[in-house]
Amino acid sequence: MSVFKPFLTSDVIVSPFKVNKSFTFKENEFTDLNVQIDRFLGKNITSSLWVSGSNNTGYITTQNQFLVYRSIKELYYSNYLEGSNIAPTSMAIFNNDGTITGSAYTPNYYNYLSNTLSFNRFFPTGSNSEIGVISIPSNLFGEYINPGTFKILSSSLNIYDDGLGNLLWDSNENITKIGDIIYEHGLIVSTILPNFLYGTYYGTSSYGTGSYDSFNIPNFAHLLYSSSLTCSFESTVTIYETQYKCTIKANEFNFSNNPSLTLGSASLNNGSGSFFPQPGSGKLNDNVTGSYFSPYITTVGLYNNNKELLAVAKLAQPLPVSSVTDTSILINFDF
């Protein structure tokens, strides 16, 4: 027979925590249509008005090159289009007196920065300037790509993020920034002009070298059309763990309704070789009438208000109920 006890509000604790899952797509897996990792070429086409169905791009879905360029520009680089190409962002300043100040030319848009550090982003704005975009679907990256886990590798490429939103290229001689990664949108953006597969680029943002040293930068078109790439990253999802605290006070659950505790109880043969318990006379056995007797708990069930069983928790070993102190059983489960 079950014994029910309601939970108090303080007995139930819901705790969120982040979990990560690693993904690696090798060569032909990277171009598998079932994976749905798409790649786009964005272009600042200024020679004519946009015409539907023209200048298509996209490995899986079809988009217009100019619209890809403008979308990336407005969403992620609108604060970096004034002044020098790599000027740190100049966001609005909210003063204590309620006024808002900032540079006159600064649009002060939200550009999905990865942290609050001073940030540099370069975006080409010349006529017919090009950018490359890799789009990872949300069913793969979850809530966001885990910073510092994105990589693209091939026999000639080693591209990764630094955990701060910068897309870096390691040439074995220099580490150079070639774009940005938007973790919460699953977007990898290269803003280096892809004129050559391995051309010379006078870098405006690099790691450990002067800002005007020349480097050989890989053409991002190689990332858009090559099938010999390996792409890896970790997704991030929030899981909620619920903890139920089942408290048994010293004066509770101190008796058992097991029929084997009564006098005359026995296991009887039903004639087919199976045995079943036979209730006794209703009088308790001598070994359970003393004050030292304590029942053991083996199972805890969680019920709703209609006394419908929702979950069962099995203890690793029987737990005796203390007659002098409270006993707490913690039940955790994730969903």
What integer pLDDT is reported at residue 209 of this predicted model?
38
Q: 25: which strand partners? A: 231
Residue count of the chain: 335
Instruction: Write the Ramachandran bin of 265: left for phi over 0, alpha for psi from -120 to 50, otherwise beta.
Output: beta
204-213's contacts with Cβ under 8 Å and 24+ in sequence apart are 204/85, 204/86, 204/122, 205/86, 205/120, 205/122, 205/176, 205/177, 206/174, 206/175, 206/176, 206/177, 207/168, 207/174, 207/175, 207/176, 207/177, 208/174, 208/175, 209/174, 209/176, 213/174
169, amino acid identity:
W
Give which of 298, 330, 321 is closest to 251, Cα–Cα.
321
What integer pLDDT is reported at residue 199 of this predicted model?
39
- C-beta neighbour count of 184 within 10 angstroms: 13
Could you give the CA distance from residue 212 to residue 151 in angstroms, rounded to a whole number?
A: 26
Q: What are the pLDDT tens digits along the chain (335 aa)?
A: 456 888 989 999 999 989 999 999 987 777 677 888 888 989 998 876 666 677 888 888 889 999 999 999 999 988 787 644 444 555 566 678 877 666 654 556 788 988 877 667 888 888 888 898 999 999 999 999 999 999 988 777 789 999 999 999 887 778 888 899 999 999 999 987 433 334 333 333 344 433 333 334 445 555 666 777 889 999 999 999 999 999 988 878 776 666 666 655 455 555 555 545 555 555 666 566 555 667 888 889 999 888 899 989 999 998 888 878 888 999 988 76
Give which of 269, 255, 224, 229 is closest to 41, Cα–Cα.
224
List the beta strands (DSSP E) in 140-186.
Answer: 144-145, 151-153, 158-161, 166-170, 175-182
What integer pLDDT is reported at residue 217 of this predicted model?
42
Residue 151 backbone phi and psi in degrees, to 5: -145, 145
- C-beta neighbour count of 66 within 10 angstroms: 20
What integer pLDDT is reported at residue 95 of this predicted model?
75
How far, in whole angstroms, is CA 315 from its chain's centroid?
32
What integer pLDDT is reported at residue 201 of this predicted model?
36
How far, in whole angstroms, is CA 224 from its chain's centroid?
25
Per-residue pLDDT tens digits for 55-107: 888 888 889 999 999 999 999 988 787 644 444 555 566 678 877 666 654 55
In whole angstroms, how far apart are CA 213 and each of 92, 174, 257?
A: 33, 10, 84
Could you give the CA distance from residue 36 to residue 60 in angstroms, rounded to a whole number?
A: 7
How far the first Cα of the chain sits from its last, in Å, is 29
In which residue are the tokens 């690693």 written?
22
